[in-house]
Amino acid sequence: METNEVLLSLTAIAQSSRLAVFRFLVQAGEEGRPAGRIAEALNIPPSSLSFHLKELCHAGLINQRQEGRSLIYSADYARMNAVISYLTENCCNGKFC
């Protein structure tokens, strides 16, 4: 993973509502949650949530798919793990820790 990609991801979650949305979706699992359920669970107005979801999608941290008339959002675990791997690369002088 490139440094700029990591910075984009970290910048996206460096805001309390977006971090809460991301953590909620990580907990939701691969099935994800519809936008309305996210807004309800986190008490975020739909217009604000839309902005935050767009930012998280742009950073590659979440995915969006359509099911009927609903947009379903889910965490991108591969991207999350790549960011964590980048941050912990060469940890402990290359020793397992």
Long-range CB pairs of 4-11, under 8 A, 24+ apart, other chains included = 5/60, 5/82, 6/83, 6/86, 6/87, 8/58, 8/59, 8/60, 9/59, 9/60, 9/61, 9/79, 9/83, 10/83, 11/59
Mind listing the domains of the chain with CATH numbers? 3-90 (1.10.10.10)
* pLDDT at position 7: 96
Query: Closest Cα to residue 24, out of 50, 44, 42?
Result: 42
Query: Closest Cα to residue 80, out of 63, 97, 93?
Result: 63
pTM of this prediction exceeds 0.85 = yes
Helix, strand, coil: what percent of the chain each, to 5? 60, 15, 25
Question: In terms of residues, how long is the chain?
Answer: 97
* pLDDT at position 97: 66
| C-alpha span between 84 and 89 (Å, rounded) | 8
pLDDT tens for the chain, 97 residues: list them: 899 999 999 999 999 999 999 999 999 999 999 999 999 999 999 999 999 999 999 999 999 999 999 999 999 999 999 999 999 887 777 666 6
